Amino acid sequence: MIEYKSKAYYRVTLSLALGAFLIFCNLYLFQPMLPELAEQFSASAFQINWVFAITSLLLSVSLIPWAVYSERNGRRRVMLMSLFSLPLVAVVMMLSSSLVLLVVARALLGICLAGYLAVGVAYLVEELSERAFTHAIAIYVAANSIGGIGGRLFGGMLLEWGTWQIAVGAMGLLTLSGALLVTVLLPQQRHFKPKTGLLKHHNRAVLKHFSQRPLWTAMLIGGINFALFVNLYTVMGFRLVAAPHNLPVGIASMIFLCYLAGTFSSSLSSKWMRLGSTSAGIGIGTTIMLVGIVVAYFDHLAAMVLGLLLISFGAFFSHTLAYAWTSQKAKTGKATAVALYLVHYYVGGSLGGFWLIYCWQQGAWLAVMLGSAPLIGMLLILGFSLEKMRPQQIAPSP
Q: What is the pLDDT of residue 210?
A: 57
| Residue 391 CB coordination number (10 Å) | 7
Nearest to 222 by CA among 130, 349, 76, 331: 349
Domain ranges of the chain: 7-393
Spatial separation of the C-alpha atoms in residues 327 and 312, rounded to whole Å? 22
128: β partners: 2
Residues 314, 284: Cα–Cα separation, whole Å: 7
Residue 197: per-residue pLDDT = 55
User: How many C-beta neighbours within 10 Å does residue 63 have?
Assistant: 26
Contacts 24+ apart (CB under 8 A), 89-93: 90/26, 90/168, 90/169, 90/171, 90/172, 90/175, 91/172, 93/165, 93/168
- Residue 3, burial from CB neighbour count under 10 angstroms (0-12, 13-18, 19+): exposed
Position 131 scores a pLDDT of: 87
Q: What per-residue confidence (pLDDT) applies to 392? A: 42
Q: Is 128 helix (H, G, I), strand (E, B) or coil?
A: strand
CB 380 within 8 A of CB 314: no
Helices (H) and strands (E) in the chain, counts: 14, 0
Its pTM stands at 0.82
- The pLDDT of residue 393 is 43
Instruction: Tabulate helix, strand, coil % of the chain (nearest 5).
Output: 85, 0, 15
The CATH architecture annotation of domain 7-393 reads: Up-down Bundle (1.20)
Instruction: Kindly write down the DSSP assignment for every residue of 221-255, as one continuous string.
Output: HHHHHHHHHHHHHHHHHHHHHSTTT---HHHHGGG
- pLDDT value for 276: 76
Each residue's pLDDT expressed in tens, for the chain with a length of 398 residues = 888 888 989 999 999 999 999 999 999 999 999 988 998 899 988 899 999 999 999 998 898 888 888 888 889 999 999 999 999 999 999 999 899 999 999 999 999 999 998 888 889 988 988 889 888 988 888 888 789 889 999 999 998 888 999 999 999 999 999 999 999 999 988 877 776 655 565 666 665 655 566 777 888 999 999 999 999 999 999 999 888 999 998 899 899 899 889 878 887 887 787 777 888 899 999 999 999 999 999 999 999 999 999 999 999 899 989 988 887 776 666 667 777 888 888 899 989 989 999 999 999 999 999 999 999 999 999 988 886 764 444 433 33
Q: Which sign, positive or negative, has the C-alpha torsion 261, 178, 66, 190?
A: negative
